[in-house]
Structure 1
Amino acid sequence: MTAISETGADRRRGSRHIWFLNGGFDRIGMDTAFQRVTERPADKSFEFVVTPNVDHLVRIARGNPREAVLYAQAWLTVCDSRILELIAKISGEKVDVTPGSDLTERLFADAIDPDEPVVVIGGTQSVIEAIEKRYGLTDLRWHDAPMGLKKNPLAVQDCAEFVFRNPSRFVFLCVGSPQQEMVAQAIRDRRDCTGIGFCVGASLDFLAGKVSRAPRWMQKARLEWLHRLASEPKRMWRRYLVEGPKVLLLWLEWRRNRRQLDRLARDLNQSFASS
């Protein structure tokens, strides 16, 4: 089997990487993503996986360079949104979907040994207890991160210190975006931690039954956002009804830029042909 490069620079030069709208994605689906993370040696230096969706790309578009850098440093970037998949398809691009919640569920079901250490940053005690019971885990190590991590660099460093003191193959970062990506970067920047971090938001809430996922038919119909809006209207209305539609503006800008690049390429080819 051909070895897979571990460096972001090598990965992004390869054909499996695509830049769409204002986000970069690895051109791989669920099976390959699962293979990559499970076959990576546990003692390798810490790297992290991000799962951008519409909300993330809209936030990046607001012009916060720090958030863009957080995603650019990820070891693996997979698309969390079937809406983005659809927009890409309409645009003649192929963006594979690997929802963070699905990847998390598969790791707990098929990859994690019940007796191996597993680290979770964020969540609640009831979620942790439910996860332990569901999967029979005997060594789940939980850090109850405080609210407001985005404005609390000391608390972010405390999260990184916890990961250092509790080595594990998999680290699940469940403190919301961009806090979880900030924590992942802080862990990576230490250079003394190992394993893989997964920035997967509310994934453990789903597995614990605290929040219900949309039925499979709604997921396949790209209506999971509607289910979440109906389930948590007070918390989700702004994300899905105000911020989410702004992705259409990103798409229009992307199409305009691509047309300009296509025209430039044609003009250059004509110039070379006539010279």
Structure 2
Amino acid sequence: MQEPLNIGLCRLDRLKMACAIKHIRSMSENGTTGYVVTPNVDHLQRLLSKNGASSLREIYQNAELSLCDSRVLELIIKLNGKKIPEIIAGSTLTEKLFNDDLHANDRIFLVGGTNATANKIRALYGDLNIEHHNPSMGFIYKDAEVKKLIDLVCLNNPTHVFLAVGSPQQEILARKLCQDRRFKGVALCIGASLLFLVGEEKRAPQWLQSLRLEWLYRMLQSPVRLGKRYLSNALAIPAIYWNIKNSLSGRRV
């Protein structure tokens, strides 16, 4: 495994998909507690902001695995003379884990997504032991609800927890969960991946992904929900580029 790449706002582990899955399997079998994050441009824009960014950066830096989930981010890094061996999208990682790695002895807990989505996953993967809970909107700001959620997760003693409650809520929850001594598992921050897993949302065709235009495909699918976010992300790219450039060149940022 290559040395992690420090891009200033966060670090990126330079792994291929097979190695990432092997690492997650090793964690679950050895009872190693940790969480997995998948930074993209939207995440980096948040890490770049001044409001609470320092505590959020610490969460990303302390992840067991930090995997590049963005072809745009990969291009920025490439333009600055560094390489990422493989882009590992959270949705692809989730699909690979469910299709190729998880088995009947694993205990899986889904946080987020509707009951209907969870039931579709149970139907697709009938041999897997799957529990589910969907917290309320804005739960991360409700200390009592966060505590009850962590209690519920720990009570089920899962090997794998899939956190699908959006960023930065899922990363904050992952850190809190892994700080609880009762939890002995892997928490994966996966965003909308459960929707892709059951076909409720569609990934862009491979040729669009190769052109780094998956964001456009998703925005056209959900313009009201994603249009404003992607416009904001696009406007932040120059600042993200210069932050990464300065970090990789050793300049202070």
C-alpha displacement at 1:155, in angstroms?
Answer: 1.7
Where does residue 70 of structure 1 map in the other structure?
Answer: 59
C-alpha displacement at 1:238, in angstroms?
Answer: 1.4
Structure 1 counterpart of 2:7, from 20, 31, 35: 20
> Structure 1 pair 237/166, CA: closer, same or farther in 2 (3 Å)?
same
Mapped partners of 1:162, 1:141: distance in 2: 10
Where does residue 139 of structure 1 map in the other structure?
Answer: 129
Where does residue 19 of structure 2 map in the other structure?
Answer: 32
Gaps of 5+ in 1: 1-13, 263-275
Where does residue 255 of structure 1 map in the other structure?
Answer: 245
Where does residue 184 of structure 2 map in the other structure?
Answer: 194
Aligned residues between the structures: 249
- The answer to whether the 8 A contact 1:42-1:194 is kept is no
Where does residue 46 of structure 1 map in the other structure?
Answer: 33
> Structure 1 pair 258/20, CA: closer, same or farther in 2 (3 Å)?
closer
- The answer to whether the 8 A contact 2:37-2:189 is kept is yes
Q: Does 1:219 align with 2:209?
A: yes
Mapped partners of 2:247, 2:171: distance in 1: 28
- The answer to whether the 8 A contact 1:58-1:244 is kept is no
Where does residue 100 of structure 2 map in the other structure?
Answer: 110
Q: Does 1:206 align with 2:193?
A: no
TM-score by structure 2 length?
A: 0.91
C-alpha displacement at 1:56, in angstroms?
Answer: 0.4
SS at the partner of 1:172?
A: strand
Structure 1, residues 167-198: CA drift from partner, whole Å, max 9, x if none? 12211011011111111111111111111010
Pairing of 1:93-108 with structure 2 (within 5 A) = 93-96=82-85, 97-108=87-98
State, as a whole percentage, how many aligned pairs show the same letter.
34
C-alpha displacement at 1:37, in angstroms?
Answer: 0.6
Mapped partners of 2:178, 2:68: distance in 1: 22
Look at both structures and tell me which one has the larger radius of gyration over its CA atoms.
Answer: 1
SS at the partner of 2:152?
A: helix
Pairing of 1:235-246 with structure 2 (within 5 A) = 235-246=225-236
- Structure 1 stretches of at least 4 aligned residues deviating more than 6 Å after TM superposition: none
Gaps of 5+ in 2: none
Q: Does 1:90 align with 2:79?
A: yes
Mapped partners of 1:85, 1:237: distance in 2: 22
C-alpha displacement at 1:117, in angstroms?
Answer: 2.3
Amino acid at match of 2:101: A
> Structure 1 pair 92/144, CA: closer, same or farther in 2 (3 Å)?
same
Q: CA RMSD in A?
A: 2.0
Most deviating of 132-141 and 100-109? 132-141
Mapped partners of 1:48, 1:21: distance in 2: 20
> Structure 1 pair 43/147, CA: closer, same or farther in 2 (3 Å)?
farther
TM-score by structure 1 length?
A: 0.84
Amino acid at match of 1:22: L
Higher relative contact order (CA 8 A, sep 6+): 2
- The answer to whether the 8 A contact 1:49-1:196 is kept is yes
- The answer to whether the 8 A contact 1:173-1:180 is kept is yes
SS at the partner of 2:29?
A: coil
> Structure 1 pair 49/163, CA: closer, same or farther in 2 (3 Å)?
same
